[in-house]
Amino acid sequence: MNVREFPKTEAGKSVASQMLRVLSSVHVRRHLFADPAPTDEATDSGTLVPLSDAPKADLSHQIGRHAEKIRVGEPQPFTEAAMTTHVGGTELHTTPSGAVRGAHDVMRYVVVLGRAFFSAIFIMSGATHFSQQTIGYAASHGVPMPGVLVPLAGIIAMLGGLSILFGYYARIGAWLIVVFLVPVTLAMHAFWAIPDPMMARMQQIEFMKNLAMLGGALLIAYFGSGPLSLDARRLQGRRDG
């Protein structure tokens, strides 16, 4: 159906029925659901197959077969098929340039560097939570049961950092970092309760630093580990299986 003719459709036809008409075309299903090849000669010209000519069972089969391949928030490969859109029976091609493809490939490694830089502080500092010096410092700030809670905090920080570094259940690892940062920030860097202006300023800097890391952890908790990670390989294995 042509977009310009959409307002002229007879009353009673809902937008959902029009969308089903578009989805019923073999050509749209070829690009949207990654069918290996068209099953009708007419689809190569961009002609939409009416809903009555596309069996509903076949459409349901295609949707169920490829449901696991559709993931929200995950980067898709730059392919010509993935960059094809149908609007009212008109096929629009947006082929990415070589520069765009190269930038996409480079960004995959940038994500790995970002995970490594973000997780380094938690992995390295987590080990120090088992020292008597760190336990005593926490006790001086009024932390209850420092001999138990401080090493426990170190374990949480290291587990979360390693999870993000390798991209293995990184969303869970990010939430571990959140669990670590919130009480540590409030208990150890309460700059508003320090009377000395110089010390208060130093603790305010530490507080804002932890706040920035907390924001990064929340982003990872939402978006995940990204490409070149164990999570990505695990998801790919599910799709192939």
DSSP the chain: --GGGGGGSPTT--HHHHHHHHHT-HHHHHHHTT-SS-SSGGGGGTPPPPGGGS-HHHHHHHHHHHGGG--TTPPPP--TTTTEEEETTEEEE-PPPHHHHHHHHHHHHHHHHHHHHHHHHHHHHHHHTTSHHHHHHHHHTT-SSHHHHHHHHHHHHHHHHHHHHHTSSHHHHHHHHHHHHHHHHHHH--GGG--SHHHHHHHHHHHHHHHHHHHHHHHHHHH-S-SSSHHHHHHHHHHH-
**What is residue 36's predicted lDDT score, i.e. its pLDDT?**
46
Q: Exposed/middle/buried for 66, CB within 10 Å: 0-12, 13-18, 19+?
A: middle
Its domain, for residue 132, covers 99-240
One domain for residues 86 and 127:
no
Q: What is the pTM of this model?
A: 0.58
**Chain centroid, CA 116 distance in Å:** 17
One domain for residues 51 and 65:
yes
One domain for residues 7 and 53:
yes
One domain for residues 125 and 228:
yes
One domain for residues 113 and 61:
no
One domain for residues 64 and 23:
yes
Q: Which residues of the chain have pLDDT under 70?
A: 1-102, 241
Count structural domains, the chain: 2
- Look at residues 40, 65, 96 and tell me which one is the last residue of a structural domain: 96
Question: Which residues 6+ apart lie within 8 Å of 85 measured at CB?
Answer: 91, 92, 94
One domain for residues 232 and 146:
yes
One domain for residues 137 and 177:
yes
One domain for residues 130 and 197:
yes
- Look at residues 68, 96, 124 and tell me which one is the last residue of a structural domain: 96
Q: CA 215, CA 47: separation in Å to the nearest integer? A: 48
Q: CA 25, CA 48: separation in Å to the nearest integer? A: 5
- Look at residues 80, 96, 112 and tell me which one is the last residue of a structural domain: 96
Q: Are 217 and 178 spatial neighbours (Cβ–Cβ below 8 Å)?
A: yes
**What is residue 85's predicted lDDT score, i.e. its pLDDT?**
40
One domain for residues 22 and 78:
yes
Q: Classify strands 90-93 and 84-87 as parallel, antiparallel or unpaired.
A: antiparallel
**What is residue 17's predicted lDDT score, i.e. its pLDDT?**
63
One domain for residues 156 and 235:
yes
**What is residue 198's predicted lDDT score, i.e. its pLDDT?**
94
**What is residue 21's predicted lDDT score, i.e. its pLDDT?**
64
